[in-house]
Amino acid sequence: MSRRGPRKVAVVPATDPAEVVARFADVEVLVVGDLIADRFLWGKVSRISPEAPVPVVHVVDESLRLGGAANVAHNIRALGGRVSLGGLVGDDALGGWVREECGRLEIDPCAVITAAGRRTTEKTRVVAQHQQVVRFDREDLGDPAPGTMSAFSKALAKRLARVDAVVISDYAKGSLEPSVLKQLMSEARRRGVPVLVDPKPPRFAVYRGASVVTPNLKEAATMSGIEIGDERALARAGRKILESLRCEAVLVTRAEDGMTLFSRAARPVHIPTMARDVFDVTGAGDTVIGTFGLCEAVRVERALAARISNAAAGIVVGKVGTAVVSGAELLAALGGRSATKEDACTA
Ligand SMILES: Nc1ncnc2c1ncn2[C@@H]1O[C@H](COP(=O)(O)OP(=O)(O)OP(=O)(O)O)[C@@H](O)[C@H]1O
Ligand SMILES: [Mg+2]
């Protein structure tokens, strides 16, 4: 499916969430950003160490999952969309694992570049009695070898020719150099492909040219320079980000208060959270931008896209760890048919 000129950005007047979710299978989203391996060590604590005032964790299980931008891609795939991935991995065993895991989950790693001399970013969480005891990170934040970034940009430009939306997931781990972002955004604009950004302040101007940004409350406060203490301050912050980035919409995610969508043409739309049982909020932001990216790819009206994304986040916070949501679970939450046990997505 190659595209010649800039695509038409007519909004699909889909008011039926079931129709929107059904269309996810027709589109492809390119996710670009920092690729992370999320390792979890699960254990039990029954004593304090005699060596230092720290708990001794008896590890009983271990798991490894795609994190960062790769988790956004996993969310898109789980919802039924086609997805390709761009980012850097190290020339180590974990980098090989990221590629293999992409293959297993049907994520196309077409723009995953191996950066010589670097290690793959890895976050390890030790969890005991449902609580995180410590997290340790292994990462290289220095500049990658010459040529790495130009290979990265080239691979992204190549894939841009066939995708319906781009999602940029910035975790400030060094993949998204300003030159790479600039080239990606201008090429996307030229082709009429919408770009959504999950930002990492204090970076700000580098996101200019995006169609939609999805900061959480704290990020929105940093980006706007406005302390967000009430709804009026939130409205001022939303407007300020819209104007300064000259983007089309700002979706501020507000944890237990749901989310608020700011756009140029319409009044702010507030959507309360749908979550009933909250177990683990890790990665809820990834689910939001993944779902919103898919909606943008099928050109759904943004207020509906926000409602659908909020429903997806409401499901994922009820699961443990870096989890994902299936299309059937999403439909059930939106009032369509109910999800059966087999539909539940835990992969
Ligand atoms: N405690 C909570 N209770 C109910 N819903 C929640 C809660 N936390 C998050 N959510 C849902 O998840 C969405 C995104 O959460 P949040 O605003 O915390 O994003 P985030 O800080 O980017 O998350 P993260 O970076 O941890 O992935 C919210 O808009 C809401 O729908
Ligand atoms: Mg976030």
Does 254 sit in the ligand 1 pocket, CB within 6 Å?
yes
- Confirm whether 3 is domain-assigned: no
Helix intervals (H) in 255-301: 284-297
In tens, the pLDDT along 9-58 reads: 455 566 789 999 999 999 999 999 999 999 999 999 999 999 999 999 99
Look up the domain containing 169 and give its range. Answer: 17-343
- Confirm whether 326 is domain-assigned: yes
Here the tokens at position 66 are 């795609």
Q: In what order do the strands lie in the sheet with 35-48?
A: 55-68, 35-48, 121-128, 131-138
- Confirm whether 4 is domain-assigned: no
For residue 224, give the H/E element and its range. helix 217-224
Q: How many structural domains are present in the chain?
A: 1
Query: What CATH code is carried by the domain that includes residue 103?
Result: 3.40.1190.20
Residue 87 alpha carbon to ligand 1 centre in Å: 24
Does 310 sit in the ligand 1 pocket, CB within 6 Å?
yes
The pick from 75, 317, 322, 324 for probing ligand 1's pocket by mutation, whose C-beta has the most ligand atoms within 8 angstroms, reads: 317
CA distances from 141 to 7, 197, 230 (A): 37, 21, 36
- Confirm whether 234 is domain-assigned: yes
Ligand 1 atom nearest the C-alpha of 215 is 22
The pick from 273, 289, 309 for probing ligand 1's pocket by mutation, whose C-beta has the most ligand atoms within 8 angstroms, reads: 273
In tens, the pLDDT along 177-217 reads: 999 999 999 999 999 999 999 999 999 999 999 999 999 99
Residue 146 alpha carbon to ligand 2 centre in Å: 30
- Confirm whether 205 is domain-assigned: yes
Per-residue confidence (pLDDT) for residue 347, from 0 to 100 = 45
Residue 258 banded pLDDT, cuts 50, 70, 90 = very high
Specify whether 92 is catalytic: no
Percent pLDDT > 70 in the chain is 92
Percent pLDDT > 90 in the chain is 82
Predicted model pTM: 0.93
Provide the 3-class DSSP secondary structure of residue 302. Answer: helix
In tens, the pLDDT along 161-182 reads: 999 999 999 999 989 999 999 9
Per-residue confidence (pLDDT) for residue 12, from 0 to 100 = 58
Residue 6 banded pLDDT, cuts 50, 70, 90 = very low
CA–CA gap between residue 259 and residue 214 (Å, rounded): 10
- Confirm whether 2 is domain-assigned: no
C-beta separation of 171 from 200 below 8 A: yes
- Confirm whether 10 is domain-assigned: no
Q: Whose CA is nearest to atom 5 of ligand 1?
A: 256
Provide the 3-class DSSP secondary structure of residue 135. Answer: strand
CA–CA gap between residue 43 and residue 314 (Å, rounded): 27
Taking the CA of 286 as reference, the closest ligand is 1
- Confirm whether 9 is domain-assigned: no
Ligand 1 atom nearest the C-alpha of 309 is 31
